[in-house]
Structure 1
Amino acid sequence: MKNALITGATRGMGRAIAITFAKEGFNLAICSRNEAELDTFKTELLGINANANIVTVKADVSKKEDIQAFAKAAEETLGFIDVVVNNAGIYQPTSILDDDDDVFQKLLNTNLLPAYELYRYFGKSLIRERKGHIFNICSSASIDVVTNAGMYSVTKFGLLGLNNVMRLELQQYGVKVTAVIPGSTLTSSWDGVAVDGAKFIMPNDIASAIVNAYRMSPGANVDQITIKPVFGQL
């Protein structure tokens, strides 16, 4: 069985991605800050694939030591990690001029640091094995600035830049890297807001696109997956 590691996997896109890979027969390493949610989700994933090995780690991925502990637990239990999905992130709807003093570091550490640290942790094993696939969940804000979410846009621009560096550093070894660029997606970020769900991208749409990109032949890499709401951004 192949192994996938997914950050922020108990809700939204991460949850949908984990379920889809479980259906594909993968072992999974998942993390969240909420241990109860991890335990419940593990039971659900084993209901989908009873033969899967599910590694759960309570981790705050804005902390370097938690990221490294998660990666180490996944590798020690599962072995070679075939797929890394950098999904965890946080949205802060403020302009930079109105940001609190901690916003810069909080968004940098949550939206960019995990992908950087996991790349440094797994990159050399991917090169050694000459296989594997990294998916970085960016955002339409990685390309089009959201002025009322300034630092979010900055960090998502940074994640897309990091993604592109990863791809160029790894392509000669046959390791794939894909940027996933979703527009407005119906996740917990919209909790408490009255919205028309029919006008949003669904988390399952993102998960389906990722798995289809993974299934491609060894010689094909999907550089970017851009998915936008049919009615436009919300």
Structure 2
Amino acid sequence: MSADQRKSPTEPQRGNRPPAHGRRRILITGASSGLGAQLARIWADDGRDLALCARRLPELERLRDELLDRHPHSVVHVYQLDVSDAEATERVVERAVVDLGGLDRVVAGAGIGMGARVGSGHADVNRRVLTTNVIGTWNTAEAAIRHFWDRQDGHLVIISSMAALRGFGGAMAAYSTSKAAIATLGESLRSSLARRPITVSTIFPGNIDTAINAGNPDKKWSVPLEVGTAQLAAAIEAEPASAYVPRRPWAYVAPIMRVAPLSVVRRLVG
């Protein structure tokens, strides 16, 4: 395969296999690693056309090459993007619409998990978490919904976290706050679009083995990346208003987390 073919032509070449679900053309932010990259692998295996976005272009290009090696006739476009830049996010979504001939689903998965204790003198770190996770998701939603509104169809997926359900302290404070904010964004969009054929799903992953939780020695009920992301993809395909992933135990733990004292929540989830 030539280098030009690996970069995917402007006129997409359709894969040999139709996808199992109608959402063929999918854009993923935060696709260079973790959940985003693994979702790309799952959907490439299913014959989807992909627009993959992240700040780290070399990682995206390696992922694209991996996917095209496995599926030479797949459509995989990559775009360097910092989702905190609103104008850049608009441009990339518009470019992906042209390159893929439209978008059926947008997964707002870009996020960072590092943080610092509030008042520790590292406010800049916490601001980066909040800017990327909250403003970046907002920017992605603005661009996606504008396209979906024009075509009166589409599926926006917001990747929140179980950490959104309660206020976690220490180095988790900014992350927990950001994930709660984007969960509220998802609910607000569902309210706004209630009479429109546009679906908004908020997904709450638990502990899946990614770089974000790799350094947490107290994490409980963690599952391997491949296992957790397979369940994540299945939850997304169902297009629910919200879902906890993996369902067991998090769908059963969630009601307890919402009402239990914080001391109990800390012991419960680590």
On whether the aligned pair clears a TM of 0.5, the verdict is yes
Distance across 2 between alignment mates of 1:48 and 1:197? 34
Where structure 2 has 5 or more consecutive residues not aligned to the other structure, the ranges are 1-13, 15-23, 251-267
Residue 170 of structure 1 aligns with an amino acid whose one-letter code is L
Query: 1:98-137 maps to which residues of 2 (within 5 A)?
Result: 98=120, 100-137=122-159
- How much does 1:214 deviate? 4.5
Equivalent residue in structure 2 for 1:75, among 97, 104, 109: 97
Counterpart AA for 1:233: V
Residue 173 of structure 2 corresponds to which residue in structure 1?
150
Q: What fraction of aligned residue pairs are identical, expressed as a percent? A: 24
Q: TM-score, normalised by structure 2?
A: 0.75
Contact preservation (8 Å) 2:220, 2:269: no
Q: Which residue does 2:27 correspond to in 1?
A: 5
Give the C-alpha shift of residue 194 in structure 1. Answer: 8.2
Range that drifts further, 96-105 or 148-157: 96-105
Tell me the alpha carbon deviations over residues 86-143 of structure 1, each in whole angstroms, 9 at most, x when there is no partner: 1111113422222523234312221012221122112133133332211111011111
C-alpha spacing 1:65/1:48, structure 2 compared with 1 (3 Å): same
User: For the pair shown, which has the larger CA radius of gyration, 1 or 2?
Assistant: 2
Alignment partner, residue 41 of structure 1: 63
Work out the CA distance in 1 between the residues paired with 2:145 and 2:84: 20
Q: Which residue of 2 aligns with 1:20?
A: 42
RMSD value, Cα: 2.6
Q: Which range is displaced more, 42-51 or 19-28?
A: 42-51
* Structure 1 residues 61 and 181, CA gap change in structure 2 (3 angstroms): same
- How big is the shift at 1:196? 9.8
SS at match of 1:185: coil
Equivalence for 1:159? 182
| d(CA) in 2 for partners of 1:168, 1:184 | 29
SS in 1 for 2:148: helix
Contact 1:17/1:204 (8 A) holds in 2:
no
Whether the 8 Å CA contact 1:84–1:135 is kept in 2: the answer is yes
Q: Helix, strand or coil for the counterpart of 1:95? A: coil
8 Å contact from structure 2 (residues 152, 196) kept in 1: yes
CA separation of 1:172/1:111 partners in 2, compared to 1, >3 Å: closer, same or farther?
Answer: same
SS at match of 1:162: helix
Report the Cα distance in structure 1 between the residues aligned to 2:245 and 2:64, rounded to whole angstroms.
28
Greater relative CO (CA pairs within 8 A, separation 6+)? 1
Q: In 2, distance between residues paired with 1:20 and 1:120?
A: 26
Output the amino acid matched with 1:96.
V
> What number of residue pairs does the alignment pair up?
229
Shift of 1:73: 2.1
AA matched with 1:47: D
Find the counterpart in structure 2 of residue 169 from structure 1: 192
Counterpart position of 2:244: 226
Q: Which residue of 1 aligns with 2:114?
A: 92
